[in-house]
């Protein structure tokens, strides 16, 4: 079945620095790519998504880029803050459901 | 609160017992999903409903698992004869399917199951 590879598994940055998380996939039919943030003891929260007809989408300090030819998409967080610390999951659409990556634990140090 | 609601938040049970979880989706959402998440992993798809119809089940969903959405609103997930390997967070999500393509999925806070 479809697989999503997510890197890195952990990421530590200083407050104010940028963080980048990358995911790669194999199914060229995928056309929807959301990113979720999960805090301890909570369910995943949708933070941004992108559809295959655009290459980039931005929402304040968060942006997502998509390269359909290379089959990878990335989450960019600028000016990181301690409250950005969480586990981030990429996902993609596969026949009416989402397939998730293995997650990236982001730690932002003050 | 108009988000996805799951009950209970935590469940501890002994191996061999049956457990049932409930999910109340966002009220106007016609699709409801169940996912399972183990420590350090991403959510894994189990099954989903459109209204009351169960449209897909994962191979992860053994015959000990059964899900229902009898009136197209809330859903229940039952695990019979629980095993230690069933210990996980069970997540429910809902969405509004209106056309072609994938819609946004909104998750509840999950039910953490521990099988002793």
Q: How high is the pLDDT of residue B1?
A: 53
> What is the sign of the dihedral through the CA atoms of A101, A40, B12 and B68?
negative
Asked if B106 and A35 touch (Cβ cutoff 8 Å), the reply is no
- Which of A32, A36, A43 is nearest residue B108 as measured by Cβ atoms? A43
pLDDT category of residue A1 using cuts at 50, 70 and 90: low
Task: Please enumerate in sequence order all residues whose Cβ is within 8 A of that of B8, keeping only pairs 6 or more positions apart, or say none.
Answer: B21, B111
Looking at residue B39, what DSSP letter applies?
T
Phi then psi for B74, rounded to 5 degrees? Answer: -75, 165
Q: Kindly determine whether residue A96 and residue B108, on different chains, have CB atoms separated by under 8 Å.
A: no
pLDDT at residue A94 tops 90:
no
CA distance readout (Å), B45 to A94, A98, B35, B88, B92: 11, 7, 5, 13, 10
Task: Please enumerate in sequence order all residues whose Cβ is within 8 A of that of B28, keeping only pairs 6 or more positions apart, or say none.
Answer: B96
Q: Kindly determine whether residue A98 and residue B45, on different chains, have CB atoms separated by under 8 Å.
A: yes
Extended strands (E) in B28-74: 31-37, 44-50, 53-57, 65-68
Taking only the tens place, the pLDDT of each residue in A27-63 is 888 889 999 999 998 999 999 999 888 889 999 999 9
Residues 11-40 of A with CB under 8 A from B: 31-32, 34, 36
Nearest CA in chain B to A10: B40
Find where tokens 């099954």 sit.
Answer: B47
DSSP-derived 3-state class of residue B48: strand
pLDDT at residue A104 tops 70:
yes
B99 interfaces chain A, CB cutoff of 8 Å: no
Taking only the tens place, the pLDDT of each residue in B8-59 is 999 999 999 999 999 999 998 999 999 999 999 999 999 999 999 999 999 8
A103 interfaces chain B, CB cutoff of 8 Å: yes
Question: What's the whole-number mean pLDDT along residues B94-111?
Answer: 89
B61 interfaces chain A, CB cutoff of 8 Å: no
């Amino acid at each position: 079945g479809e697989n999503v590879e997510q890197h890195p598994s952990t990421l530590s940055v200083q407050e104010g620095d940028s963080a980048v998380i990358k995911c790669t996939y194999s199914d060229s039919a995928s056309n929807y790519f959301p990113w979720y943030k999960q805090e301890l003891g909570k369910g995943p929260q949708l933070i941004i998504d992108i559809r295959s007809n655009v290459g980039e989408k931005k929402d304040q300090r968060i942006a997502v880029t998509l390269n359909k030819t290379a089959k990878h998409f990335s989450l960019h967080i600028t000016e990181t803050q301690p409250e950005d610390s969480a586990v981030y999951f990429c996902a993609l659409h596969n026949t009416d459901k989402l397939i998730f990556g293995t997650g990236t634990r982001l730690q932002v140090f003050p | 609160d108009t988000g996805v609601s799951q009950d209970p938040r935590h469940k501890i049970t002994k191996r061999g017992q049956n457990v049932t979880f409930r999910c109340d989706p966002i009220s106007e959402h016609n699709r409801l999903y169940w996912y399972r998440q183990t420590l350090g992993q991403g959510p894994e798809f189990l099954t989903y409903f459109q209204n009351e119809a169960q449209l897909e089940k994962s191979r992860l969903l053994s015959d000990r698992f059964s899900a229902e959405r009898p009136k197209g609103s809330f859903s229940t997930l039952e695990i019979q004869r629980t095993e230690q390997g069933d210990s996980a967070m069970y997540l429910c999500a809902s969405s509004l399917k209106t056309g072609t393509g994938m819609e946004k999925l909104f998750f509840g806070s999950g039910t953490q199951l521990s099988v002793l």
